[in-house]
Copies of this chain bind each other. A is one copy, B any other.
Amino acid sequence: MTASSATAIPGIDLNSDLGEGFGRWSLGDDDRMLAVVSSANVACGFHAGDPATMRRTVCGAVARGVTIGAHVAYRDLAGFGRRTMDVPSDELRADIVYQLGALQAVAAAEGTRVRYVKPHGALYNTAATDARVAEDVAAAVAAVDPTLVVLGLPGSVALDAAADAGLATAAEAFADRAYTTAGTLVPRGEPGAVLDDAQVVADRVLRLVTSGLVTAVDGTDVAVHADSVCVHGDTPGAVAMAERVRSVLADAGVRLRPFVGDA
C-alpha cells in the first residue's frame, strides 16, 4: 500500500475471492476460507454473488473480523466475468458504481463497510494493461468513496490510474503463481506457470513476506512488492493450500493483518 509504514513485526494480508455462488449454486468453501484470509473480495452480482449470497458472505466476514472488498466485474453471469468485453466508458463506470454501492448497502445493513475494490477476471486483466479501462475503474471508485483502496497487480496501469485519481493502492502477489525475472507473472499456459505443491507455495509466501524476494522460474531471486497475497478457495486442494500458507506464516510469527488500515 502506498502509505504503508515499516514495522518491526512482519505482517501481511491474505485475500481471496469469496461469495462466488449464485442462487442455488455455490463455489468453493467460504467458511473455511474466511478462517484463512484477512481480506475478502466479495462478488457483487455481475459475475457471481446474488444479494442473499452477498449478505451471507458479509456476515461471515464480520464474524471472522475479515475486511471486505468489492470484487467488481463485467456484467457476464454466463461467463463468470472471464470473457473480455468491450464496454464503453460511461457504461463501465456506471456498472462499477452500481456493484460497489450494492455491496456497500449490504455491508451497512450488517454494521460494517467496504474498504477496498478489486476488479475481477477479465476486468482485472484488462485494467492491468489498458489505460482507458483502468481510468474508468479508478474514476468510478473515486466518485463513490475516495477513501477506498484499489487492489491490483504491482506496476499495473490499474494501480497507476488509481493513484492518479487520488486513491490509495495496494499491490498483490499470487501465492500459487511463478514469476519471471522481471517480477511479473509467468503467463498461464506456459510450463510451470501455476504451482501445485502446498508446502512449496507456503514457503515461497513466507520468504516473500519476510525478505521481499521470490525465486523466479530461472532460479534467480527477484524482488516482488506485495501488500497482500492472493490465495484461492475454489477447489478442496486450493483451500488446503491456503490453510498451509496461513499456518506456515503463523508458525514463523508473521501476523496476518488487512492491508487497509483502520480508519
Copies of this chain in its oligomeric complex? 4
A42 to B35, CA, bound (A): 37
**A223 is an interface residue with CB less than 8 A from chain B:** no
Q: Which of A8-16, A22-30, A182-190, A195-203 contacts B (4 or more CB under 8 A)?
A: A22-30
Given A48-B24, A78-B50, A105-B100: A86 and B83 within 8 A (CB)?
A: yes
Given A27-B24, A101-B102: A79 and B87 within 8 A (CB)?
A: yes
Residues on A close to B: CB < 8 A?
Answer: 20-27, 45, 48, 50-52, 54-55, 75-80, 82-88, 90-91, 94-95, 97-106, 108-109, 122, 140, 143-145
- Partner among B20, B82, B90, B101 whose Cβ is within 8 Å of the Cβ of A101: B101
A95 to B79, CA, bound (A): 12
A79 to B92, CA, bound (A): 11
Q: Which 10 A-B pairs have the closest CB atoms?
A: A101-B105, A25-B25, A51-B94, A109-B143, A24-B80, A51-B98, A84-B86, A52-B94, A102-B102, A98-B102
A186 to B175, CA, bound (A): 50
A98 to B22, CA, bound (A): 14
A112 to B80, CA, bound (A): 30
Enumerate 11 A-B pairs (CB-CB under 8 Å) in ascending A order.
Answer: A50-B91, A54-B98, A55-B94, A79-B91, A85-B86, A86-B122, A101-B103, A101-B104, A101-B108, A105-B144, A109-B144
Closest Cβ neighbor of A234 among chain B residues: B24
CB-CB < 8 A to A48: which residues of B? 24
- Partner among B55, B80, B94 whose Cβ is within 8 Å of the Cβ of A97: B55
- Partner among B51, B97, B103, B104 whose Cβ is within 8 Å of the Cβ of A95: B51
CB-CB < 8 A to A25: which residues of B? 21-22, 25-27
- Partner among B54, B85, B98 whose Cβ is within 8 Å of the Cβ of A83: B85
- Partner among B21, B54, B95, B145 whose Cβ is within 8 Å of the Cβ of A94: B54
CB distance from A121 to the nearest CB of B (A): 10
CB distance from A238 to the nearest CB of B (A): 14
A98 to B46, CA, bound (A): 12
CB distance from A234 to the nearest CB of B (A): 9
A98 to B109, CA, bound (A): 10
CB-CB < 8 A to A22: which residues of B? 22, 25, 77-78
